[in-house]
Amino acid sequence: MDFPSRFDVIVIGGGHAGTEAALAAARMGVRTLLLTHNVETLGQMSCNPAIGGIGKSHLVKEIDALGGAMAMATDQGGIQFRVLNSRKGPAVRATRAQADRLLYKAAIREMLENQPNLWIFQQACDDLIVEQDQVRGVVTQMGLQFHADSVVLTTGTFLDGLIHIGLRNHAGGRAGDPPAIALSRRLRELPLRVGRLKTGTPPRIDGRSVDFSLMTEQPGDAPTPVMSFLGSREQHPRQVSCWITHTNARTHEIIAANLDRSPMYSGVIEGVGPRYCPSIEDKIHRFADKDSHQVFLEPEGLTTHELYPNGISTSLPFDVQLDIVRSIRGMENAHIVRPGYAIEYDFFDPRDLKYSLETKVIEGLFFAGQINGTTGYEEAGAQGLLAGANAALRAKGQQAWCPRRDEAYIGVLVDDLITLGTQEPYRMFTSRAEYRLILREDNADLRLTEKGRELGLVDDRCWAAFEAKREGIERELQRLKSTWVHPHTPQGDAIGERFGSPLNREYNLLNLLARPEIDYATLIELSGAGTPDRQIAEQVEIQTKYAGYIDRQQEEIRRLRASEDTRLPENLDYSSIPGLSREIQHKLGQARPQTLGQASRIPGVTPAAISLLLIHLKKRSASGKLEQSA
Amino acid sequence: MSIVQDTIAAIATAPGRGGVGIIRVSGSQALAIARGLGGLEPTPRHAHYRDFSTGSGEVIDQGLLLFFPGPHSFTGEDVLELQGHGGPVVLDMLLQHCLELGARQARPGEFSERAFLNDKLDLAQAEAIADLIEASSEQAARNALRSLQGAFSRRVHELTESLIQLRIYVEAAIDFPEEEIDFLTDGHVLDMLDRVRDNLSTVLHEAGQGALLRNGMTVVIAGRPNAGKSSLLNALAGRETAIVTDIAGTTRDILREHIHIDGMPLHVVDTAGLRTTTDQIEQIGVERALQAIDEADRILLVVDSTAPEAIDPLALWPEFLAQRPNPERVTLIRNKADLSSESIALQSDPDGQVTINLSARSGQGLDLLRTHLKTCMGYEQTTESGFSARRRHLDALRQAASHLQHGYNQLIHSGAGELLAEDLRQAQQALGEITGTVTSDDLLGRIFSSFCIGK
């Protein structure tokens, strides 16, 4: 039967991509349906109970700057907060939080249930309704049809999911959940390139069976960092520690002796796993000379004893898992609550997507999250928000929003995926962003909130707070610029002492702040008055300290901007462009880049090829004009 | 379609020693470069007679400076034309100075490309430009490759490799702070950075192409007695500089001659024939010859093609070649082709060893030798000459060096690893001009295969 009412956007999947997609579309005012196979698992953290980290927190803050849920849920569910790289510069600092799974999930559920324009429905999705390469809706397991012209698929690891423990395997979407087999079959009929990826988890440990006195405690930072721009420490629940222990020679012997029972080494698993998140058997096999590896015991929550031993993800058989765990210091008597496993699943080649995350072949069909070959909650959430927003824009008949590489990590993520594709689960790192000094976690709001407001993603409360912050920064910059320190005054002498030589002329406070010897706190201490707002002070300081580098990157961006803005026609026949080598024609034909800038980032495409493309485009538009006038 | 462009510069006149040489600059920096080089505010479309000088006031050349503000110019952008004296060395210095003032070297066909994109050329001409870009970019790639053969190439690749290694450590420390690999603080990175900087300055020094062009290449004529070395010197110089007789051992000391080939300065050195001798004076001559050979940029090893040794002269002299570190510096000259009836030719074997059959006495084959010597200096009669390929390389190396210096300061004075990382990225980008680009994913791949990463 047909569901009685129509929707503008249907989101399939209730993980991190699906919830951000549904929330974003609904915030933008279109009728949105979130379809999940199980309402109880909305916002579930399937892997380790942590949000953020290097590169990833940058995405979380961008989601936050666009009114998304992830950072706020983290502040409500976070039981330990740290800033990584705190001794390095602000561009590479990253906030990381351990989250209580239940609190996090509850926070997400609450936001979903209180979001106007959003309906939730529990039923697995089995089929898509597609008419003439245009999606029209979905069909659920029991044959119920929902109609909408924009559908966002966020299927995670569920598409034809296959769980491996040792040489045994069974179909599953996640431990305890069924896979989506019918939908996988259906999607494989579409003209999209499909592949298999693999990921894994470690066995979970009962904390009561662990001797923490033999491990190193890792508490959170004090004062406790917050994740959301509007978050506060007061929201945080009770804070707890993580624990660090190490594998040893005995652990490595056990693994080496049992490699033939690993589905990865016996060839049972075909999917490719992530290089940066290897299983413990992989680490020992590939880095045989390393005699110990770190293991982080992450608490799963405040109301459970379960621990997530990060660092020993494995798909070895259970008896080996038990031996491995019990060979590790402090876990000699550990009880395993849930066995570790590897999971293989379908993903679709992201090169078949547009910048909007809409598929190139089926209009109105958007993909977000692991279905695009990524890994990580943050990567999923960021894509979900973008896909949801673009699905809503499409429903409203408006142009898609496609953030560029120089605007957001979300832009880097999408551009990498759709330009280069991926051979392994794609994870964000700061080294992927060439404009790392501009794309900082601290300025995600300054980069994106205005755009988010324009799109309708940012509510009045967030917008007011943002405007106040932006004005505060401007005011403080002006004050520093117009406040002068003169030589031979008590202030001037104090500052000269800092520099190791007396001031020889007058300086404004901004000039002084640019010097490496002085930070904002010292400046205020020496000159008096300053802003009490931590975020404003931070912005003023970072902008001043990085000024030269930021200018240089801005110049680089400005230079490349034109080619980013030059669109390539979708129907361009690369084999007809004279001068392009066959190899480059093939590469361009495979990738079908949307802009000249994207074309230039395809490996092997030379500057000369870009020149030829430009000339071809110009010729096309010139002859087009001639035809029109004739 | 208007595309914001950076500023490009190139030598616009055909290579060679002409009366006038023109450098053309196009883009937003053209006016600034006019001010910098000419020290004046140019009147549009007006010929100014000026000294072209460096920032420190050193005069490079004198000539006409013309400024054409866009859009009424050849490319539609601001265009600057510097018409100076035609010598390639002077033009190269002038070009280098434009690059220092913010231009980058134009790719082949790029001026025409811009003219077309800015509606300065009609549609019919576009096809020709496409052909030009295609043909000359291939030519440029070949030239770049050619100028990259030998020791210089090895050094540049080693350098790139050590820069990548360094970046692996820096990026790993930034992206994986929890992995017990904080190289930024343990001095490891600083050591590596010092090494890369040392290597780079050595390469720059060794490349020394700028100096070679300015001061001229030193070519040593060496060989057995009576192979015709002095005849070759006289033939190249176009006058009787050396005494030529049939008596082996006539030249007992080294003779130096300064000549020009199409405006390229060459120091040609004639040496005593290499042989074991009891004659004390001749012995000293042989020693001096060997010393001159070691100092040479290029050695012309002359053999008498009528002599029995001529069948395989390189095999005949393994001890000579074994003592010389760079066999690629040697060109084999099979002289007296008029007597041995060998055909006048230049052959290049797969190892890059060049052999020229000629006759110094009759002058046959001398043109081949002259062209070959020009090639050795990185100077060719093509659209995108090896000359400019080398200019590009040197420019890239210098840019890389300046980024490394900047990054070094950041690390030393502020301990700012992320700023060092940015400077290293820029340095790599500069070197990418020579060695091809390294993507962030390449870098991550190297990190994962170098360190055991991941929780």
pLDDT per position as a tens digit, A472-519: 999 999 999 999 988 888 888 888 888 888 888 888 999 888 887 788
For residue A220, what are the CA distances in angstroms to A217, A224, A225, B363? 10, 7, 9, 85
Q: What is the pLDDT of residue A277?
A: 79
DSSP 3-state of A308: strand
Mean pLDDT of A150-171: 93
Residues of chain A in contact with residue B134, where contact means CB-CB under 8 angstroms, are 578-579, 608, 612
Q: What is the pLDDT of residue B212?
A: 55
Q: What is the pLDDT of residue B96?
A: 84
**Which of A454, A438, A444, A445 is CA-nearest to residue A553?**
A438
DSSP 3-state of B315: helix
- Tokens matching residue A503: 């001031």
- In this complex, the residue of A92, A293, A310 whose CB is nearest that of residue B418 is A92
pTM for the complete prediction?
Answer: 0.81
Q: Where are the domains of chain B?
A: 8-121, 129-212+390-436, 218-377
Residue B42 — very low, low, confident or very high, per pLDDT cuts 50/70/90?
A: very high
| CATH superfamily name and code, B129-212+390-436 | tRNA modification GTPase MnmE domain 2 (1.20.120.430)
Residue B15 — very low, low, confident or very high, per pLDDT cuts 50/70/90?
A: low
Length reported for chain B: 455
Residue A401 — very low, low, confident or very high, per pLDDT cuts 50/70/90?
A: very high
Residues of chain B in contact with residue A247, where contact means CB-CB under 8 angstroms, are none
Q: Is B231 labelled a binding residue?
A: yes
Q: Is B271 labelled a binding residue?
A: yes
The model's pLDDT over A173-204, given as tens digits with 9 standing for 90+, comes to: 888 888 889 999 999 999 999 999 999 899 99
Amino acid identity, position A594: Q
Residues of chain B in contact with residue A277, where contact means CB-CB under 8 angstroms, are 454-455
Q: Please report, in range form, the residues annotated as the binding site of A.
A: 13-18, 273-287
Residue A231 — very low, low, confident or very high, per pLDDT cuts 50/70/90?
A: very high
The H helix count followed by the E strand count for chain B is 16, 13
Q: What is the pLDDT of residue A630?
A: 41
* Poorest-pLDDT segment among A534-538, B52-56, B189-193, B438-442: B438-442
Put simply, whether A420 touches B (Cβ < 8 Å) is yes
Put simply, whether A622 touches B (Cβ < 8 Å) is yes
Query: What is the distance, to the nearest Å, from the Cα of residue B434 to the centroid of all Cα atoms in its chain?
Result: 12
* Fold of domain B218-377: Rossmann fold (3.40.50)
For residue A189, what are the CA distances in angstroms to A11, A35, A127, A186, A348? 20, 22, 11, 5, 12
* Poorest-pLDDT segment among A173-182, A295-304, B245-254: B245-254
Residue of B nearest to A278 (CA): B454
Mean pLDDT of A401-424: 95
**Are B329 and B296 within 8 A, CB to CB?**
yes
CB distance B455–A437 less than 8 Å?
A: no
**Are A365 and A357 within 8 A, CB to CB?**
no
d(CA A526, CA A524): 5
**Are A198 and A269 within 8 A, CB to CB?**
yes
Residue of A nearest to B437 (CA): A603
CB distance B117–A578 less than 8 Å?
A: no
Q: What is the pLDDT of residue A75?
A: 98
d(CA B402, CA B13): 31
Mean pLDDT of A317-343: 96
Q: What is the mean pLDDT of chain A?
A: 92
Q: Give B410's DSSP letter.
A: I
Residue A451 — very low, low, confident or very high, per pLDDT cuts 50/70/90?
A: very high
For residue A615, what are the CA distances in angstroms to A591, B10, B113? 20, 21, 7
The model's pLDDT over B70-86, given as tens digits with 9 standing for 90+, comes to: 889 988 999 999 998 86
Residue A417 — very low, low, confident or very high, per pLDDT cuts 50/70/90?
A: very high
**Are A184 and A314 within 8 A, CB to CB?**
no
**Are A240 and A100 within 8 A, CB to CB?**
no
Put simply, whether A491 touches B (Cβ < 8 Å) is no
Quote the minimal CA–CA distance from B373 to chain A in Å.
30
The model's pLDDT over B164-223, given as tens digits with 9 standing for 90+, comes to: 999 999 998 898 887 766 677 778 888 999 999 998 888 777 665 544 555 567 888 888
- Tokens matching residue B438: 């390294």
d(CA B323, CA A329): 62
The model's pLDDT over A426-440, given as tens digits with 9 standing for 90+, comes to: 999 999 999 999 999
- In this complex, the residue of A88, A310, A431 whose CB is nearest that of residue B444 is A431
Dihedrals phi, psi of A19, to nearest 5 degrees: -70, -40
Residues of chain B in contact with residue A617, where contact means CB-CB under 8 angstroms, are 1
* Residue position matching structure tokens 């070949």: B142
**Residue A626 pLDDT more than 70?**
no
Q: Any bridge partners for residue A2, and if so which?
A: A145
**Are A31 and A170 within 8 A, CB to CB?**
no
**Residue B385 pLDDT more than 60?**
no
- Tokens matching residue A463: 């917008």
Dihedrals phi, psi of A41, to nearest 5 degrees: -100, 15
Residue B439 — very low, low, confident or very high, per pLDDT cuts 50/70/90?
A: confident
CB distance B417–A89 less than 8 Å?
A: yes
**Residue B239 pLDDT more than 70?**
no
Test mutation, A48, A82, A92, chain B, max B CBs within 10 A: A92
The model's pLDDT over B44-59, given as tens digits with 9 standing for 90+, comes to: 999 999 999 887 778 8
The CATH number of the domain covering residues in B8-121: 3.30.1360.120
Put simply, whether A93 touches B (Cβ < 8 Å) is no
CB distance A88–B448 less than 8 Å?
A: no
For residue B406, what are the CA distances in angstroms to A556, B399, B403, B432? 17, 11, 5, 18
Residue B317 — very low, low, confident or very high, per pLDDT cuts 50/70/90?
A: low
- Domains of chain A: residue spans and CATH: 2-196+345-455 (3.50.50.60), 204-341 (2.40.30.260), 468-561 (1.10.10.1800), 566-628 (1.10.150.570)
Residue B245 — very low, low, confident or very high, per pLDDT cuts 50/70/90?
A: low
**Residue B383 pLDDT more than 50?**
no
CB distance A566–B3 less than 8 Å?
A: yes
CB distance B454–A606 less than 8 Å?
A: no
Q: Is B202 labelled a binding residue?
A: no
Burial environment of residue B410 by CB neighbours within 10 A (0 to 12, 13 to 18, 19 or more): buried
Residues of chain A in contact with residue B425, where contact means CB-CB under 8 angstroms, are 434
Q: How many CB pairs under 8 A join A and B?
A: 145
**Are B203 and B156 within 8 A, CB to CB?**
yes
Q: Rounding to the nearest 10 degrees, give the CA dihedral for residues B133, B120, A621, A398.
A: 110
Q: Rounding to the nearest 10 degrees, give the CA dihedral for residues A238, A242, A243, A249.
A: 160
